[in-house]
Each structure stands twice: as structure tokens, then as C-alpha cells.
């Protein structure tokens, strides 16, 4: 997930036959630079992305909450699907110990179990959960009410800032200063990944 957030590689989720995130009323962001993806999407399925610079578009969903590109249970533009779809990884809810807010995804999330082959794996998983708890307890770090209510955003931010919760990281250097450092890290990650603060 860290690599996906850094746009170094897509999330490689073993989804199997699941397509829950294509039919649970997600608005999919399509960036200006995703030119090939845009050529694959029918014009009528693309809408302006409110609050983002011109050129940013979104794919909406139908009355049943399904993406219009989902046909017979399959994504019709899978090879060229938007970056937002490539980087979505429902395992982050399980990793951060946060309940998904969509029932079909929550059912998938319950499937995941993590192996921790090394101490570093155990430490990082504990740090991700600690980061998620901290962000929820200090949700004032997130300026918008919508962001504070969004469990996906909290889980993504927990992955992004978890290193501050590793032993020997920022948390070890005094509570007040570490809280400020974590708050700054959350605000910066939120701005970078979601475009608001």
C-alpha cells in the first residue's frame, strides 16, 4: 500500500471474484493526466470533479451504486482502469482495525488475515493500528467534517504516517512534541493524498 500511495506500483490485491468496490457507490476520480483511461470511458460517464482544478473528472455510479464500467460483473476497461481503482486496497481497513462503511466491502475485509514473518512486520502492523487510533482521537487534524467521517481516509492516512508510531520514531521523543509532529504529518499526508487540509 505504501508503494501504491507513492504511485510506484498498483496495489496487488488478490480480489478473486470480488467486485465489491465497483458496486458500492464510490465516486472514482480520473486525473487530468490519465489520458489513456479517459479515451476508454464513454463521455456521458464522466463528470467534472467538484472542488478540483479543471480537467479533473469523476465516474459516478447508477441507482444501484454500480460503476457504469462494470458489465456482467467485470470491469470493461480493466487494463486501463483509473489510478484510483488500481490503488484501492480494502486490506487497509483490516490492517488499521477500522470498520469499512460499506457492507459489501466490510464482508471482504473480514476475510483478511495477516502473516507477520518478522518482528518488523509485527511492529509496523502495531504502528498502523496505533496511528489509526491516534487520528480518530485527534480528528481535528482533518479540517473537513467529511474527511473526519471517512474511515477509508483514516485508514489510508494511518498507513501513510505509521512510521511516526514505530518505537524510536517521533512518539519516543516526548508526548507534546510528538503529538505536534504527528499532527503535522497527518495534515501533510491528507493534503498530498486527498488535496485538502
Q: Would you tell me which residues interact with ligand SF4 (CB under 6 A)?
A: 13, 15, 18-22, 28, 67, 69-70, 75, 77, 81-82, 85, 88-90, 105, 108
Grid cell at residue 128:
498502523
Closest CB to ligand SF4 among 56 and 178?
Answer: 56
Closest CB to ligand SF4 among 16 and 168?
Answer: 16
Specify the 3-state DSSP secondary structure of 28: strand
Considering the complex, what minimum distance in angstroms separates the CB of residue 16 from ligand SF4? 7
- Phi then psi for 57, rounded to 5 degrees? -125, 165
Helix residue ranges, H only, 55-173: 83-86, 91-96, 103-109, 119-137, 145-149, 151-161
Specify the 3-state DSSP secondary structure of 62: coil
Closest CB to ligand SF4 among 14 and 54?
Answer: 14
Which position has the grid cell 471474484? 17
Distance of CA 155 to the CA centre of its chain: 7
Considering the complex, what minimum distance in angstroms separates the CB of residue 167 from ligand SF4? 31
38 by Cβ neighbours in 10 Å (0-12 / 13-18 / 19+) ranks as middle
Closest CB to ligand SF4 among 88 and 165?
Answer: 88
Closest CB to ligand SF4 among 15 and 46?
Answer: 15
Considering the complex, what minimum distance in angstroms separates the CB of residue 75 from ligand SF4? 3
Amino acid at each position: 500500500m505504501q508503494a501504491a500511495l507513492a504511485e510506484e506500483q498498483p496495489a496487488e490485491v488478490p480480489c478473486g471474484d470480488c467486485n465489491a468496490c465497483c458496486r458500492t457507490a464510490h465516486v472514482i476520480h480520473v486525473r487530468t493526466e490519465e489520458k489513456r483511461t479517459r479515451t476508454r470511458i464513454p463521455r456521458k460517464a464522466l463528470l467534472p470533479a467538484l472542488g478540483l482544478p479543471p480537467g479533473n473528472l469523476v465516474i459516478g455510479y447508477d441507482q444501484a451504486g454500480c460503476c457504469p464500467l462494470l458489465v456482467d460483473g467485470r470491469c470493461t476497461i480493466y487494463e486501463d482502469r483509473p489510478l484510483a481503482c488500481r490503488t484501492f486496497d480494502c486490506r487497509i481497513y483490516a490492517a488499521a482495525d477500522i470498520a469499512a462503511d460499506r457492507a459489501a466491502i466490510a464482508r471482504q475485509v473480514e476475510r483478511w488475515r495477516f502473516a507477520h514473518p518478522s518482528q518488523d512486520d509485527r511492529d509496523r502492523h502495531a504502528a498502523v493500528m496505533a496511528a489509526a487510533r491516534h487520528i480518530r482521537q485527534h480528528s481535528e487534524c482533518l479540517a473537513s467534517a467529511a474527511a473526519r467521517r471517512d474511515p477509508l481516509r483514516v485508514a489510508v492516512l494511518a498507513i501513510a504516517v505509521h512510521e511516526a508510531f514505530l518505537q524510536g520514531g517521533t512518539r519516543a521523543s516526548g508526548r507534546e512534541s510528538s503529538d505536534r509532529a504527528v499532527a503535522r504529518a497527518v495534515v501533510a499526508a491528507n493534503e498530498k493524498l486527498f488535496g485538502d487540509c
